[in-house]
Amino acid sequence: MPTIPAGSRRLVLSLNAGSTSLKAALRDPALRLHVDIAGLDRDEASVTVDGTGAPAERALLHGGWPAAVPEIADAVARRGLRPALVAHRIVHGSALLPAARRADDALLSRLHAEEALDPLHLPRQLAVAEEARACWPDAAVVLVPDGGFHARLPHEAVALPLPAGARAAGLRRRGSHGLAVQSVVDTLPGMASGVVVHLGSGCSVTAVEGGAPRSTTTTLSPAGGVPSLTRSGDLDPEVVLRLVDADGGSVAGVRELLTRRSGVAGLSGGRTDVRELLAADDGAADLALRVFVRDVAMAVAGAVTTLDGWDTLVFTGGIGVHSAEIRERVCARLLSLRPGTARQPGIPSERLAATGLRVLAVAVDEEAVMDRLTRAAVPG
């Protein structure tokens, strides 16, 4: 685990805005407070507040996203704490943000001008940043790109097979879930050659060699790569063009279809709870899971080809950590990659482990990575 210099004892508040949740962690750099607000797309969101040495507080929150940052500010104020820096996770892969950096009005304004490039994430995450500035006007604002870990991808892993003009306009592989993968690297410093399988509301597969990325499945946004719960994953470009044509040329309408009604949801009839799908007894649920597991396993197999060896397979994300059944189904499809598994007893993960491959489920801490990157970006 990377160390924090003793002189960096400032209070840093990391705000991690997802599609329907907002997580907050306040560190000095030891964890002082953690707040998790889930279900912000519903009438009632659930709030969990954990403070060091105190029982967790649970409550319901009404008002959706506008009420989320004030709820966190209230939890911080009740403990007499005030952050010196407030860090924000930014999903949008912008040339303006190759690494964590302090944000001033000019940078925030330029990022606002790019909202049309990532309408699903950037407006929400910048709105959270603006709300946080109102709550803590004296705190420095730091933006942390989620894809920053992927900045060291080899050139052949970054370059898209497009003409030079398109590539010069910024169309390249940027990757997603970089903070989660960095958390795995921090947690498993002995991992030499690993594949990190992030399975949650968004999904990706990343190959890591010596702590650096070698390949990753997503390109410009979490919508690409392997299918996710509501996102299509990679598609033949002609499929997208035909969808746009069928929708009367509406890019916005097709974007909504591909990011909110596709993936597992598109195959299962709108269902996204993996536990429900595993318990279901119908063809649509079965097909959704078979496509999902197959595509994830194929992505793992492809990632292995970019490594010099393969010693670790790591599952992260809500599904990756909490669904043993999905892990085993993916592992079952990987047995042919490890000679000797046919002679081994046990479930698929145990058979892989018998060949010397570590198979792990690791809960990541993106906010801890944000904290470390923020302190490095703004020394003090």
Please write the tens of the pLDDT for every residue from 83-138: 999 999 999 989 899 999 999 999 999 999 999 888 889 999 999 999 999 999 99
> Is the same domain home to 91 and 213?
no
Q: Is residue 258 part of a domain?
A: yes
User: What integer pLDDT is reported at residue 4 of this predicted model?
Assistant: 45
- pLDDT at position 69: 97
- Tell me the two tokens of residue 127: 């709105």
Arithmetic mean of pLDDT, 325-329: 98
Same domain, 62 and 202: no
Give the model confidence (pLDDT) of 261-300 as tens digits: 999 999 999 999 999 999 999 999 999 999 999 999 999 9
Residue 48 lies in a domain: yes
Q: Is the pLDDT of residue 257 over 70?
A: yes
The tally of domains found in the chain comes to 2
179 in a structural domain? no
Question: In this structure, are 196 and 328 located in the same domain?
Answer: yes
Q: Please, where are the H alpha helices in 226-316? A: 237-246, 251-260, 263-268, 274-279, 283-304
Domain boundary among 151, 166, 200: 151
In a domain, 123, yes or no: yes
Confidence of residue 53 (pLDDT cuts 50, 70, 90): confident
Segment 96-106, tens digit of pLDDT = 999 999 999 99
Whether 223 contacts 258, CB under 8 Å: yes
State both tokens at 179.
């903070």
The enclosing domain of 63 has a CATH number of 3.30.420.40
The answer to whether residue 140 sits within a structural domain is yes
In a domain, 133, yes or no: yes
Q: Confirm whether 138 is a catalytic residue.
A: no
Instruction: Output the pLDDT for position 7.
Output: 41
Query: Do residues 136 and 270 both lie within one domain?
Result: no
Determine the pLDDT at residue 6: 40
Overall average pLDDT of the 69-92 stretch: 95
Q: Residue 120's pLDDT is what?
A: 84
pLDDT at residue 102, as a whole number: 96
Q: Determine the pLDDT at residue 2.
A: 53
Report if residue 376 sits inside a domain. Answer: no
How far, in Å, CA of 47 to CA of 39, rounded? 9
Same domain, 195 and 143: no
- Residue 143 and residue 16 share a domain: yes
Catalytic residue, candidates 118, 146, 295, 365: 146
Q: 122 and 200 share a domain?
A: no
Q: pLDDT, tens digit, for every residue of 165-182?
A: 999 998 999 999 999 999
In which element (H, E) is residue 183 found? helix 178-187
User: 0.75 cut: is pTM over it?
Assistant: yes
Pair (96, 218) in one structural domain: no
227 and 110 assigned to the same domain: no
Answer yes or no: do 17 and 65 share one domain.
yes
Percent of the chain exceeding pLDDT 70 equals: 98
List the domain range (segments joined by +) for residue 289: 190-361
Among 104, 130, 151, which residue terminates a domain?
151
For residue 2, being part of any structural domain is answered with no
**For the residues of 54-106, what is the DSSP string, one character each?**
SPPEEEEEESSGGGHHHHHHHHHHHTT---SEEEEEE-S--TT-SS-EE--HH
- Whole-number pLDDT of residue 8: 54
* Same domain membership, residue 138 and residue 17: yes
Domain shared by 206 and 340, yes or no: yes
Decide which of 123, 151, 179 is a domain's last residue: 151
Report whether pLDDT(318) > 60. yes
Phi first, then psi: what are they for 355, rounded to 5°?
-90, 0
